[in-house]
Amino acid sequence: MLLGLVHVNMGSITQPDAVVAAAHAAEAAGFDSVWAGEHIVLPDPQVPPSPMAPQDRALDSLLALTWAAAHTTTIRLATGIIILPQRNPGVLAKEVATLDVLSRGRVMLGVGVGYLEPEFRALGANFADRGAVTGEFLDAMERLWYDDHPEYHGEFVDFGGIDAHPRPVQQPIPLVVAGHSPPAYRRAVARAHGWYGYWLTPDNVTASLAGLRDAAVRVDRPAELGELEISVTPRGRMTPERAAAFAELGVHRLVPLVPPTPDGVSTTIDAAVSAVAAL
């Protein structure tokens, strides 16, 4: 069972030293990855289903991971997740490739479509077509990363006669898709190396795995992607019994959430290591 740590860019982990300390502690404990979430802006006042108050602190995910990369050597750097249709795909492709180069090939790109309309409206992003936009943005970014002569002509992205270097170290960059809808499951099966579920119980994971199996009947999975890696942030406290339940379901990586307490990082890491030690 692999272990990751989320969120190394939010709440109590938003000061420079705190980001470094969390990344150091996770790497020293044998965690394979640190994860950074995203809310560029937040609705004010807070309205459902927004999970955060407008004054809650959240560093930019890629900048926080770059800071973590500069102070670590082996741990992987995952976005968990970037709200892809809120981003410019050309700029994001450059940022991700840059982080992959600077970290010597440690990036995992986690993406989702988002669900808070006020965020999209404030950023001038397309909420109504966010699923289709996400698909085109992924296509366009892959052209910029992997093609000798990048070119893409779609409804939401259109470019040609350009190039962008350096390319990422990893060919390809591991892609993780988040979400609990049939389109998200199909996107994960068809084009991603992994699927990420956030704040889930074992029962929630069971339902999501059923959704992924149904998607696998409906869309083809390229052989080069291999087995779909399942990463989950558990709901509630990490215990050996909870870790065993997720392992039995076939979860590959647990990504516990750091609580907003002064000792949150150390207690989360210790609990996770102890929970998986008995597996």
Nearest to 169 by CA among 278, 56, 45, 69: 69
pLDDT band at 162 (very low <50, low <70, confident <90, very high): very high
Q: In this predicted model, what pLDDT tens digit does every residue of 222-234 receive, in sequence order?
A: 999 999 999 999 9
Quick check: 1 and 247 in contact, CB under 8 A? yes
Q: In this predicted model, what pLDDT tens digit does every residue of 38-75 receive, in sequence order?
A: 999 999 999 889 999 999 999 999 999 999 999 999 99
Q: Residues 192-211: what's their mean pLDDT?
A: 98
Q: Residues 7-34: what's their mean pLDDT?
A: 97
**Burial track 190-223 (b if 16+ CB lie within 10 A, e otherwise):** bbbbbbbbbebebebbeebbebbeebbeeeebee
What pLDDT is stored for residue 29 in this prediction?
Answer: 98
| 3-state SS class at 257 | strand
Nearest-angstrom CA–CA distance, 147 and 149: 5
107, two tokens: 């990036």
Instruction: Check which CATH number belongs to the domain holding 125 and give it.
Output: 3.20.20.30
For residue 261, the one-letter residue type is T
Question: How many CA atoms lie less than 13 Å away from 257 in the CB half-sphere?
Answer: 16
What pLDDT is stored for residue 251 in this prediction?
Answer: 98
Nearest-angstrom CA–CA distance, 32 and 134: 27
What pLDDT is stored for residue 160 in this prediction?
Answer: 98
Q: Is the pLDDT of residue 18 over 90?
A: yes
List the single range of 137-146, 204-213, 235-244 with lowest mean pLDDT.
235-244
Nearest to 109 by CA among 33, 198, 39: 33
What are residue 123's phi and psi, to 5 degrees? -95, 0
User: Any idea of the CA torsion for 188, 96, 68, 252, to the nearest 10 degrees?
Assistant: 20
Q: Is the pLDDT of residue 260 over 90?
A: no
* Share in percent of the chain as helix, strand, coil (round to 5): 40, 15, 40
Q: Is the pLDDT of residue 262 over 90?
A: no
Q: In this predicted model, what pLDDT tens digit does every residue of 124-149 receive, in sequence order?
A: 999 999 999 999 999 999 999 999 99
36 forms beta bridges with 79
User: Any idea of the CA torsion for 234, 183, 36, 41, to the nearest 10 degrees?
Assistant: -120
176 forms beta bridges with 110, 194
Domain count, the chain: 1
| 3-state SS class at 253 | strand
pLDDT band at 237 (very low <50, low <70, confident <90, very high): confident
Q: Which residues contact 63 (CB under 8 A, 6 or more apart)?
A: none
The H or E element containing residue 182 is helix 182-191
Structural domain range at position 165: 2-277
What pLDDT is stored for residue 195 in this prediction?
Answer: 98
| 3-state SS class at 214 | helix
Nearest-angstrom CA–CA distance, 171 and 248: 32
Q: Residues 145-169: what's their mean pLDDT?
A: 98
Q: Is the pLDDT of residue 261 over 90?
A: no
What pLDDT is stored for residue 278 in this prediction?
Answer: 84
pLDDT band at 122 (very low <50, low <70, confident <90, very high): very high
Say which residue, 262 or 121, is predicted with more confidence: 121
Rounded to the nearest integer, the mean pLDDT of the chain is 97
pLDDT band at 159 (very low <50, low <70, confident <90, very high): very high
